[in-house]
Structure 1
Amino acid sequence: MKIATRLKLIGLFCAIVVALVAAILLSTTNQVRRELNKNQAADEVLNAVTALRYLSLEYGLRSERRVFAQWRLRSASLATLLASDTTFSGAEDAASMASLRTSFASVGRLFSQLVASRAQPADAVSDELASRLTGQISGKTQAMIADAMALAERSRQGVLAAQQREIAAVAAFGAVVLATIVASSLLTFRSLVGPLERLREGTRKVGAGDLDFKLGWHGRDELGELASAFDGMTEKLKQSTVSRRELSAANLALQAEIAERAQAENKVRSQLARLSLLQHITRSVGERQDMRSIFQVVIRSLEEQLPVDFCCICLYRQGSAALQVSCVGLRSAALAEEFAMREHARIEVGQNGLSRCVAGELVYEPDVAEVPFPFPQRLAGGGLRALVMAPLLVESTVFGVLVTARVAPSSFSSGECEFLRQLSEHVALASNQTELHGALQRAYEDLRQSQKTAVQQERLRALGQMASGIAHDINNAISPVALYTESLLETEPGLSDRARASLEVIKRAIDDVAATVARMREFYRQRETRVHLGQVDANRLMQEVADLTRARWSDMPQQRGIVIELCRRFEAGLAPLPGIDSEIREALTNLVFNAVDAMPDGGTLTLATRGVAGSAGAQAEVVLEVGDSGVGMDEDTRRRCLEPFFTTKGERGTGLGLAMVYGMVERHGARIDIESVRGQGTTMRLAFSLPDTPAAAAAPGAPARRKAPLRILTVDDDPLVQKALRTVLESDGHQVLAADGGQAGIDQFRSALQDGAPFALVITDLGMPHVDGRRVAAAVKAMAPHTPVILLTGWGQRIANDEDLPADVNLVISKPPKLHELREALAACVPDGDDA
């Protein structure tokens, strides 16, 4: 049998044994997996039974609905676990499962009795019954715990047994494989060593001239064929042998030719090695994008593969009298320190024999000890003798020098000098391309940033245009609510405390909506530099935010079975902070909404206030905190979360919430700090600086209010706004007539003049179809120049800020109007004593 056939059979046998081992491992692995599944199921049953026992005891003590609901959920999950028959197998497991089901049914009945007993009026009998039922439930659940622990213990024993079987099988088959390999190796070794030794001896004798030597054996394997061929070769050599003198002469000639060819081959091999090194360096340099990394690759390759004992690259600026060391090789660092040629060191050109190199010429000094210039002598002092300096040229301009040196004198061949010249050209070209690429990259980045800014501005402009129309509609919609709410709070003294508190929350929310609508244009318009800041009580403001957002962090999550706990940490004695309470309230509301969205499975919402003392010991800052224990943010999200239109909520988010918060912070001269860890929650801190001298709070004066009634004409195309205006004005004693639209208002005003019963005041909307408020005001002034006209519009704040008051309008009131604004406007336009 041939040797190759033997080896193939041995390999086939080993493959079969390995396949058997793999099959056994797969079988034992599946068994281990089944036992692990049983163990996991048993642990789940044990946890469910333990929770059921705890909840039963807690319900027996407090009878809370929350405990009852949790008991029902745990009971349902345990019932699902016990109903599954596929996980457990075997008689003992089946008996334990049957016992668990029986005990579970008993626990259910006992708990139902406990619930019924707790539903009865509390007395000694019901308490005693509840105590006994609780004890019976505890006993049943203890028995279930014992059964579940037995299941878990059997599954653990099964896992251990399966693992032991797996280890034993692997050890047994491993021993078989090892024994097979050892035996086959010994047999193969014995069948090869003897013939090979005989063949070696025959080769030695035939080489010594004994052509009569015969191996003398024949076999069916490869070695037998080799022996037959060897004997045939010796026979042919014996027939064609020449004289030793002729053979010696031919041998000498052959040796001389071999030496010549070896020399040529070494020369070609060296040239190929240098070309390969040049290709390697060029390819490595092409993959770099900065000049320093290019220089490092070149120097490291020269030190390792050329090799050289010292290497560095110096940069040169045209017109300068010195070189600057840019990069030094790692192996050359010690010598560079000795030569004072560390990175960024300067080398004078005129006094060091470098003028030829910076002029574009390759400089080779076989022995620098014979060169009378300071720079070569400095190298010779460190033990270096041979020096090559290659210029780095781009478009006939030298911008650097490649310096290489060796310890042995005259150690650079002409081929190596040519290689260094070619390498310097490649390095110069790559460096120039790197500079061009960097400039192009910077230009592209500038263009991309400009494009991004332009797109962002276009988005903001479009948003502002939409926001302007939306603001008008929202102000019209909430105007009746604002008027009726203020009227109820003022005219209904019999309201309950709860109703009055609810109306105040509604009023505050309407004010915040109006302020939000007024700020919607800030996304595309420059905000006024004059911002009137009031004195804001931080603790009161945080409590208002908690009340306004209660539905989001309490009611709505509870409907989904989620619990979010509110933690308040308000520091007492905080100084009032300067700000606009509606803007700060809205920003905190946005932060609370984000915190709730970050806790989809529930958690803790923290609202906190604290003061920060300054160097003098007095309060210097007031810090408002909104924290959550939710999903948190990674570093990239934390850095970008304040950008407009950036959101991680997908289609549910607009990306404007935190941008508006940041805008409020900037307008108030405050700062925002964000702390977030992925999976551990987020804390947002708003820090407001306190003035050195607290501003005295202005005492609120009595609002201006006209005592004499007026005859007023209101013009508006919205019937709800008309009705609300009429109601509140008539409650002050005024006579109010309403006109539906601009043309109707003009006609009604003209008719009243003709009848001798003119109106003392006209209140008109601005945006109306066909005839708007400006035309109404112009018509009124044309007919009665002294009749005051008040413009009531959703764009009122914008008109006032832009100083775009129409010529025929006396005052502008923003929607939603407030009662004191209406009264002050009436008193200002028609003072008491004027004709009504």
Structure 2
Amino acid sequence: MKIATRLKLIGLFSAIVVAIVGAVLFSTTQQVRQELNKNQAADEVLNAVTALRYLSLEYGLRSEQRIFAQWRLRSASLGVLLDSGTTFSGPGDDANIASLRATFASVGKLFSLQVATRALPEDPATIELASRLTGQISSKTQAMISDAMGLSERSRQGVLAAQQREISAVMAFGAIVLFMILASTMLTFRSLVRPLERLREGTQTVGAGDLDFKLDWHSRDELGELASAFDGMTEKLKQSTVSRIELSGANMALQSEIVERELAEKKVHAQLERLNLLQQITRSVGERQDMRSIFQVVIRSLEDQLPVDFCCICLYEQGQAALQVSCVGLRSAALAQDFAMSEHAHIPIDQNGLSRCVRGKLVYEPDIGDVHFPFPRRLAAGGLRSLVMAPLLVESTVFGVLVTARFSPNSFSSGECEFLRQLSEHVALAANQTQLYGALQLAYEEMRQSQKSAVQQERLRALGQMASGIAHDINNAISPVALYTESLLETEAGLSTNARSCLEIIKRAIDDVAATVARMREFYRQRESQVQLVQVDANRLMQHVADLTRARWSDMPQQRGIVIQMRYELEPDLPPLMGIESEIREALTNLVFNAVDAMPEGGTLTLRTRSLGPVSGAPPQVHVEVGDSGVGMDEDTRRRCLEPFFTTKGERGTGLGLAMVYGMIERHGARIEIDSAKGQGSTMRLAFDLPAAGAGAAPPARVAHKTAPLRILTVDDDPLVQKALRMVLESDGHTVVAADGGQAGIDLFHAAQLRGETFALVITDLGMPYVDGRRVASAIKAMSPATPVILLTGWGQRIATEDDLPADVNRVLSKPPKLLELREALAACVHDRENA
């Protein structure tokens, strides 16, 4: 019979046995479950009878309605248990159930009689009857308890018997399984193991060269067929085999070839690993743009994957006598400390390996223990024995050396040395490209900055041209206001305090407007050296700014139902700073306006001053701050907010406010600091350096006395300026003749000369139609060279700065004119004429 057929029959028999045993186990399990259910029902009957007896006795003592109701409920549940006849079906159970039912019915009748007796009037006969009924009920229920206990005992015996049957079935099943295992083992040993052992013995014998061996195993299964095939194979081998000596020689040759092939394969595998490592390092190096990270990648890769015990890269400058350690491997750091070769350390170049390496040669020292030069001896002192130094060479110039070493002597193969040479070439090329990339980035950044500066200068030039175009008209418009305001402040002694304060604010505002117009074209230029700096009280200046801007931060927001609270944090006894008060006031005004615009829903506007002592050699400073609790700025806005024409206000903004503030800061040699975050408000801080002791003394006050009454010709095409100028001069006692336009002025002066009437002085505007101020001055000097001419113009400061003073003009005054400057010019002209 075939082995496969035997195994199938065994499997079928095992399945049948398992099915039979499973059926037996299922039957015994069902019996155990049935006996357990019977035991549980018997326990419930016993508990119910016990509770009924207790309630009957308790009712006999107290006769309460609650006890009666509980007795009824317990009696009903007991009746249900006794009526279910399917649970108790064993031998003897029917008699117990019948006895329990009869006794239960009798107890029910006795309890009903007892309840009726309790309803009768109490007398000795009734009490005696109730006591007898209670005793009968107690004896009946005791009998029921005995019958219930009998039921419980029989059910427990049934459970034990069922469990015993189940255990017996399990033991029988185990015996059957054990028998089957033993039978299968014996069959397998007889059918498989013995033939296979015989076949193994034959294989060993034939393999040893004995081709006369026969298995002689005759069976009709697979092993018999295999034995027959084996015997046939030995017969064929006997006819075709070679001699044992030839076979041994061929085997030895084959073994030698295998060894050679294994060695070659190992070399190829090592070469592929090194090429792969070189590719990995090259790819990693190509992803980096700084030399130090390139060196770190190379050293870490060599330590982890080549591997080496010590590795570092040193930089070399042509003509130097030492190398500088640039990067040391993480695993080599401890050894580097012992060798005094930590980063930035210098290594003298000896006359052995290092000198050859910096000349572009790869240096390999198989055993540096026998080398007596300083650098190899330094490495040998730390236990290193084998050393390779590869030059970092670019365009025939060595700029560094790759140093690798191992603890074992002769541990670097020729392939590894070649790999280190190739790696050094790649590293050198990558480092050179990094340097070129850095130079390119620097050149690009310089070009971008140059382009940015050119664009910025073009913007500034455009702004200067626009400012020059409107300066004359603005100055003409505010000149009458300036003259009237100064005249009122000087001549009207009866002005109220409030009126005088308002006029002073108007005067400061006019001065600031005039200074703004004069600086619009040059707010990025350095301060001219001829501008006189004065001491400025920052606390008083803050009060002036608050008064000037009150309408913007108080009145106008309140009209929209918005409240902006002004808070002052002014340091007392603040030292004065040196500057131009009008420029600083104008800058602070712009900052206040920006702070108000940043609080569309209201908030807190803070004006703060404080002083700082010398810190780390820096001079003492005064900080002037304008803060708000508004919307704040993001990082991009904060970085660009000082650029000209950059604004976040849309069409409402010009982008010049903060740019002019920055121009004022540059002219004063101060700095601006911006603290801002989105949604957290902004603080603009102006930091002014305080002068050295004694350097900031205030200049003497300028006092210009009124000159003797003069006959003055004024020439201007603006009637308002004419009227204001005439009023101011006449208030000083002068006689004023006004001419409307340049030609009219020349004609009036000529006519006066013909009449023998002379003018002590001529004041003419510069920008007039047809005949401008230069032509008027030229004509006056042609008719009367000794007559002084004062040129009054909106470009006065520009003309004075650019040395564009006309030849026929004695003095230039800027619009709007100040009384002090006007009187000084009159006095200077009179003085020059008298001394001519």
Structure 2 match to 1:555:
555
Conserved? CA contact 1:632–1:682, under 8 Å: no
Aligned equivalents of 2:460 and 2:398: distance in 1? 51
- Aligned-partner Cα distance in 2 for 1:658–1:356: 63
Instruction: Describe the shift of the 1:737–1:305 C-alpha distance in structure 2 as closer, same or farther (beyond 3 A).
Output: same
Counterparts of residues 586-735 of structure 1 (less than 5 Å): 586-610=586-610, 622-633=622-633, 653-668=653-668, 672-676=672-676, 679-687=680-688, 689=690, 692-693=693-694, 695=697, 698=700, 701=703, 703-706=704-707, 708=709, 710=711, 712-729=712-729
TM superposition shift of 1:314? 2.4
Task: Name 2:128's counterpart in structure 1.
Answer: none
Residues 649-679 of structure 1 show CA distances to partners (whole Å, capped at 9, x for unaligned) of 5665555434433443454455555544552
Q: 1:277 to 1:611 in 2, by over 3 A?
A: closer
Per the alignment, do residues 754 and 378 of structure 1 end up closer, same or farther by CA in structure 2, a change over 3 Å counting?
A: closer
Could you list the per-position Cα deviations for residues 160-183 of structure 1 after superposition, in whole angstroms to 9, with x for gaps in the alignment? xxxxxxxxxxxxxxxxxxxxxxxx
Q: Deviations over 1:517-542 (max 9, x none)?
A: 22334347654313323344433322
Give SS of 1:412's match.
coil
* Equivalences for residues 354-373 of structure 1 within 5 A: 354-373=354-373
Deviation at residue 731 of structure 1 after TM alignment: 5.3
Q: Which residue of 1 aligns with 2:776?
A: 776
Aligned residue number for residue 806 of structure 2: 806
Measured in 1, the distance between the counterparts of 2:757 and 2:193 equals 144
2:450 matched residue in structure 1:
450
The CA deviation at 1:510 is: 0.7
Equivalent residue runs for 1:281-292 within 5 Å? 281-292=281-292
Distance, in Å, in 2 between the alignment partners of 1:646 and 1:208 is 98
CA distance in 1 between counterparts of 2:369 and 2:198 reads: 57
CA drift of 1:705 comes to 2.9
Query: What amino acid does structure 1 have at the position aligned with 2:771?
Result: V
Matched-pair contact (CA < 8 Å) for 1:461–1:523:
no
Using the TM superposition, give the Cα deviation of residue 567 of structure 1 relative to its aligned residue in structure 2, in angstroms: 0.8
| Bigger mean CA deviation after superposition, 720-729 or 285-294 | 720-729
Report the alpha carbon displacement of residue 509 of structure 1 after superposing the two structures with TM. Answer: 0.7
CA distance in 2, matches of 1:768, 1:426: 77
**1:790-815 per-position Cα deviation (integer Å, ceiling 9, x unaligned):** 21111122333445432322332221
Paired amino acid for 2:558 = Q
Do the aligned residues in 1 keep the contact of 2:622 with 2:688 (CA within 8 Å)? yes
Residue pairs, 1:318-357, within 5 angstroms:
318-357=318-357
Give the 3-state SS of the residue equivalent to 1:317 in structure 2. coil
Retained in 2: the 8 A contact 1:538–1:574?
yes
Work out the CA distance in 1 between the residues paired with 2:792 and 2:821: 11
Could you say which residue in structure 2 is the equivalent of 1:295? 295
Report Cα offsets for 1:192-223 as digits up to 9, x if no partner: xxxxxxxxx99999999989xxxxxxxxxxxx
> Which residue in the other structure is 1:309 paired with?
309
- 2:785 is matched with 785
Judged with a 3 Å threshold, the aligned counterparts in structure 2 of structure 1 residues 312 and 610 are, in CA distance, closer, same or farther, namely closer
Counterpart residue number, 1:412: 412
Where 1:607 maps in the other structure, the secondary structure is: strand
CA shift at 1:764, angstroms? 1.3
CA distance change for structure 1 residues 519 and 358 in 2, over 3 Å: closer, same or farther? closer
Task: Compute the RMSD of aligned alpha carbons.
Answer: 4.3
Q: Deviations over 1:435-467 (max 9, x none)?
A: 233333333333333343344334333332332
In structure 2, relative to structure 1, the CA distance for the partners of 1:666 and 1:418 (3 Å cut) is closer
User: Which TM-score applies when normalising by structure 2?
Assistant: 0.64
Q: Is the 8 A contact 2:741 2:769 kept in 1?
A: yes
Cα distance change on mapping 1:667 and 1:823 into 2, 3 Å: same
Deviations 1:32-61 (A, max 9, x none): xxxxxxxxxxxxxxxxxxxxxxxxxxxxxx
Mapped to 1, the partners of 2:540 and 2:372 lie a distance apart of 87
Q: Residue type matched to 2:409 in 1?
A: P
Cα gap change, 1:733 to 1:326, in 2 (>3 Å): closer
Equivalent residues of 1:591, 1:684 under 8 A apart? no
Find the residue that maps to 1:782 and give its secondary structure.
helix
Instruction: Give the equivalent residue in structure 2 for 1:478.
Output: 478
Aligned to 1:511: 511
Q: Which residue in 1 is equivalent to 2:767?
A: 767
User: Any conservation in 2 of the 1:670–1:689 contact (CA below 8 Å)?
Assistant: no
- How is 1:60-459 mapped onto 2 (pairs within 5 angstroms)? 262-459=262-459
Report SS of the residue matched to 1:354: helix
How many positions carry a matched residue from both structures? 609
Q: Is the Cα–Cα contact under 8 Å of residues 706 and 732 in structure 2 kept in the other structure?
A: no
Identity %: 74
Deviates more, 1:786-795 or 1:342-351: 342-351
**Partner amino acid, structure 2, of 1:325:** V
1:507, distance to aligned residue in structure 2 (A): 1.9
Give 1:274's aligned amino acid.
R
Distance 1:415 1:309 in 2: 18
- Residue identity opposite 2:657 in structure 1: G
Cα pair 1:595 1:605 within 8 Å, conserved: yes
TM superposition shift of 1:544: 1.2
Partner Cα distance (1:731, 1:358) in 2: 92
- Tell me: CA distance 1:409–1:749, structure 2 relative to 1, closer, same or farther (3 Å): same
1:762 partner letter? V
Following TM superposition, by how much is the alpha carbon of 1:483 offset from its aligned partner in structure 2, in angstroms?
A: 2.5
Structure-1 separation of matches of 2:676 and 2:509? 30
Separation in 1, partners of 2:726, 2:752: 18
CA–CA distance in structure 2, aligned partners of residues 823 and 319 of structure 1: 74
Runs of 5+ unmatched residues, structure 1: 1-200, 212-230
Partner of 1:596, secondary structure, is helix
Structure-1 separation of matches of 2:529 and 2:319: 53
Q: 1:209 to 1:536 in 2, by over 3 A?
A: farther
Distance (whole Å) between structure 2 residues aligned to residue 779 and residue 798 of structure 1: 24
Whether contact under 8 Å (1:352, 1:376) holds in the other structure is no
Offset at 1:433?
2.1
In the alignment, residue 379 of structure 1 is paired with which amino acid?
L
Matched letter for residue 593 of structure 1: F
The equivalent of 2:50 in structure 1 is: none
Q: What's the TM-score, normalizing by structure 1?
A: 0.64
SS in 1 for 2:774: helix
How far residue 776 of structure 1 moved from its aligned partner, in angstroms, is 0.7
SS of structure 2 residue aligned to 1:600: coil
Task: Give, in whole Å, the separation in 2 of the partners of 1:740 and 1:311.
Answer: 93
Displacement, 1:588? 1.8
2:352 & 2:715 partners in 1: Cα distance?
A: 96
Name the residue aligned to 1:113. Answer: none
SS in 1 for 2:423: helix
CA distance in 1, matches of 2:624, 2:496: 32
Which amino acid in structure 1 is aligned with residue 794 of structure 2? G
**Conserved? CA contact 1:316–1:324, under 8 Å:** yes
Verify the 8 A CA contact 2:392 2:400 in the aligned structure 1.
yes
User: Within 1, Cα distance between the matches of 2:193 and 2:765?
Assistant: 122
CA distance in 2, matches of 1:535, 1:377: 71
The amino acid of 1:692's aligned partner reads A
Structure 2 contact 621–687 (Cα < 8 Å) conserved: no
Give the conservation status (yes or no) of the 8 Å contact 1:671–1:688.
no
> Which whole-Å CA distance do the structure 1 matches of 2:354 and 2:609 have between them?
71
Kept in 2, the 8 Å contact 1:393–1:425? The answer is yes
Q: Which residue of 2 aligns with 1:565?
A: 565
Question: Which one is further off, 774-783 or 638-647?
Answer: 638-647
